[in-house]
Structure 1
């Protein structure tokens, strides 16, 4: 197979997600009451990056054939933490940001350690830890409140050069600084090998434990960046159980829309990002076309079910597991 054909086959899911998002956003922009403009793009970007960061986190774990049902609660917890410590002078704010990111890293590392050394199923582990993270968030913020450094918040949710959403720039930097080096590293390649065939990876000497630990830890870090941005947008912290669960479920739909196989071993965080942006645009389209709010959750639930089912369609013609990853 020629190189370009192999590349096209490998990136099919990502390219499909980009196409879906482009079409849906074009429909949204052309039908928006205010018309296409920098303010509309900025608002859409600020809403989209929240799910994009959580989807990136989910993608890292799903590639290893795992799943993280705590990512939404990590976002909620770090939102509450940020509303308490990302305040004060520039130095204090910087230390607060470091503290929030460290909280996300610790949550992810805990998930990874339990899955690896406790030998528990990821779905069981992350349900339990997600409940723990929510409990801590509720302890920190029994009622909505807190604050955040407004200068930093305005900068992160504003525009660069008058037209470029700063939130998209941070998202792009996260891809360049976290995803690209990770995907090309030994542990990144090992994550794909584990998702494809863990037993074969083990027999080949692949560092399975280290790869899984890095995947879960980086997932916690990415979810914490989402929690930071949630604080930047809302200027407050809230232990919102429903919101945390929604982000977790939507992240699963986003990674599947982005071409990440729920069986593991296929896909990329970039595809998950565009899957998240496409999924978020669905909600915007419902608003633009004045869809009855009472029916919106049902419609989004149907989309979620269809998105998760996409990953199973390709299995109908697969005779053995090696063909799926061939």
Structure 2
């Protein structure tokens, strides 16, 4: 297989997600009352980046053939925490941001340790830990409220030079700083190997436990970035189980729509990001076409079901599991 065909096969899911997102957003903006304006793009970007960061968190774990059902609750917990500590002066706000990110890392570390040393299935371990994280969020914010450092929030949710959404620039920075070095590192390649076949990776001397632990650690970090950004958008914290559950399910849909295999070993966080933006645009399309709000959860559920089915359909076309990883 030639180099360009290999690269195309490797990035097919990401490219398809990108194309579908562009087409859907073009339809959305052309039918929006305000048209394709800076305000419309900024609002859509701020909503999309929230899900994109949670989808990135999910991707780290799914690549290892696991699944993290606590990402939504880490998202909620760090949102509540940020509304307490990312306040005051620029210095105290910066320390608060560090505290929020360390909390996300701690949540990811707890998940990783339970899965690796507790020998529990990821789905069971993360359901249990997610309940604990939500309980902590309730302790912090029994009722919605709080505040955040305004200048930082405005800078990250506004527009750069009055044109480009700052949230998209921040998301691109996260990809460059977090995802690209990870995916090209030895531990990142080990995560792909573990997702392809854990037993084969172990027999080949791949550090399986380290790869899994790093994946959960980065998942917690990405989810905490999402929680932090939610605080910047809303200027408050809220311990909402509905929010946590929805973002967890939507992150799975975004991952599949972005071409990441739920069976592990293939895919990219960049594809998951475009899958998240595409999933958000579906909701926006329902708004501009005046779909009855009562029907929207049903439609989103059908999209989620279709995404999972599409992600699994390729299994029926292969005779050898190795064919799943071109």
Q: With the length of structure 2 as denominator, give the TM-score of the two structures.
A: 0.99
Aligned to 1:192: 192
Aligned to 1:282: 282
Query: How many angstroms apart in 2 are the aligned matches of 1:243 and 1:57?
Result: 16
What is the Cα deviation at residue 187 of structure 1?
0.6
What CA deviation, in whole Å up to 9, does each residue of 1:204-256 have, x standing for no partner? 00011111001000000000000011001110000000010000000000000
| Secondary structure of 1:295 counterpart | helix
What is the Cα deviation at residue 324 of structure 1?
1.7
Query: How many angstroms apart in 2 are the aligned matches of 1:182 and 1:235?
Result: 31
What CA deviation, in whole Å up to 9, does each residue of 1:11-69 have, x standing for no partner? 00000100110110010010001111111100000000000000000011000000000
Aligned to 1:11: 11
Aligned to 1:69: 69
What CA deviation, in whole Å up to 9, does each residue of 1:65-121 have, x standing for no partner? 000000000000000000000000110000000000001000001101111111110
CA RMSD of aligned residues (A): 0.6
1:85 correspondence with 2:93:
no
| Secondary structure of 1:30 counterpart | helix
Aligned to 2:123: 123
Report matched runs for 1:1-326 at 5 Å: 1-326=1-326
Query: How many angstroms apart in 2 are the aligned matches of 1:106 and 1:40?
Result: 36
Long gaps (5+) in structure 2: none
Query: How many angstroms apart in 1 are the aligned matches of 2:187 and 2:159?
Result: 35
Query: How many angstroms apart in 2 are the aligned matches of 1:125 and 1:258?
Result: 25
Q: With the length of structure 1 as denominator, give the TM-score of the two structures.
A: 0.99
What is the Cα deviation at residue 151 of structure 1?
1.1
Query: How many angstroms apart in 1 are the aligned matches of 2:52 and 2:43?
Result: 14
What is the Cα deviation at residue 319 of structure 1?
1.2
Query: How many angstroms apart in 2 are the aligned matches of 1:267 and 1:222?
Result: 17
Query: How many angstroms apart in 1 are the aligned matches of 2:120 and 2:133?
Result: 18
Query: How many angstroms apart in 1 are the aligned matches of 2:301 and 2:22?
Result: 22
What is the Cα deviation at residue 321 of structure 1?
1.2
Long gaps (5+) in structure 1: none
Runs of 4+ in 1 over 2 A off after TM superposition: none
What is the Cα deviation at residue 320 of structure 1?
2.1
Query: How many angstroms apart in 1 are the aligned matches of 2:109 and 2:321?
Result: 30
